[in-house]
Amino acid sequence: MKEKLEAFRAKVEADQIAGLKAQGYNPAHHDHRTRVVMGRKYAKVDVGTSGKYMVDLATGEIFGIKAYGVIHRGYCFGTLDTIDDFDWSGYRGVKKPAGGQTLPAAIAPASSAKAKEPTEAEQFENRIAEIVGDLESRVREAKVESARLRQARKDERSEYFMGHAAGLEIAAAKLETLREDYRKGEL
């Protein structure tokens, strides 16, 4: 069992290094050291200073953790005999695709792929969303300012800001109606 645990530790560490390199990071700047801490029923597998996996010593099953030293049976990653079937480079082990390709290579973007230009309708939607988002943030700011002024007992300015916030809410609602009309083709 100890040899299998050591093989698993080495595989996790090697995959962590490969994953960092695939993402363009320098592994020398990240703590990817992997160690095994033996217990009575489980072996804890730590990456860096954090717990990551627990291995059932009776069966050799590999599990994720809920918290350090607390096994999470919902995340099962095979056994110590199937460690090569998984890619251990990410946050959590992932079963390799059928072709045996590792996950970073499988999801790497094609270098010749061109970004699609947004259509006029998408540009309109994006602009409306931008305006609505701006109005909503102004409403939040006005309400916060109003509450602050109310606490300072400056009722005249507070009423002004509440009126301002209400006006911005009405404008945001009108823009939302405009967006819905545009989607329905009524514009």
pLDDT tens per residue across span 42-64: 999 999 888 999 999 999 999 99
Residues 81 and 155 in one domain: no
pLDDT for residue 157 is more than 60: no
The helix/strand/coil state of 60 is coil
Residues 97 and 129 in one domain: no
Instruction: Give the pLDDT of residue 93.
Output: 87
Instruction: Give the pLDDT of residue 99.
Output: 62
Residues 154 and 72 in one domain: no
> Confidence band (pLDDT; 50, 70, 90) for 186?
low
pLDDT one-digit tens code per residue, 86-113: 999 888 888 888 665 554 444 444 444 4
Instruction: Give the pLDDT of residue 115.
Output: 56
Residues 100 and 138 in one domain: no
Residues 52 and 81 in one domain: yes
Residues 100 and 160 in one domain: no
> Which residue in this structure is represented by tokens 């404008």?
171
Residues 84 and 128 in one domain: no
> Confidence band (pLDDT; 50, 70, 90) for 35?
very high
Instruction: Give the pLDDT of residue 146.
Output: 74
How many domains does the chain fold into?
2
| Cα gap 139→169, rounded to integer Å | 7
pTM recorded for the entire structure: 0.52
Residues 62 and 128 in one domain: no
Amino acid present at 177 = T
Nearest CA-CA partner of 86 in 66, 107, 106, 100? 100
pLDDT one-digit tens code per residue, 115-155: 577 788 778 887 887 888 778 778 878 877 777 766 765 55
In sequence order, what are the residues at sequence separation of 6 or more whose Cβ sits closer than 8 angstroms to the Cβ of residue 68?
44, 50, 51
Q: Work out the percent of the chain whose per-residue pLDDT is above 70.
A: 81
Q: What is the mean pLDDT of the chain?
A: 80
Q: Is 101:107 a contact under the CB 8 Å cutoff?
A: no
As to burial, measured by CB atoms within 10 angstroms (0-12 exposed, 13-18 middle, 19+ buried), residue 112 is: exposed
| Cα gap 86→92, rounded to integer Å | 10
| Cα gap 166→151, rounded to integer Å | 19
> Confidence band (pLDDT; 50, 70, 90) for 160?
low
Look at residue 112 and tell me if it is in a domain: no
Look at residue 114 and tell me if it is in a domain: no
As to burial, measured by CB atoms within 10 angstroms (0-12 exposed, 13-18 middle, 19+ buried), residue 87 is: buried
Least confident among 67-71, 159-163, 175-179: 159-163
Look at residue 44 and tell me if it is in a domain: yes
- Domain around 148: 120-184
Residues 48 and 82 in one domain: yes
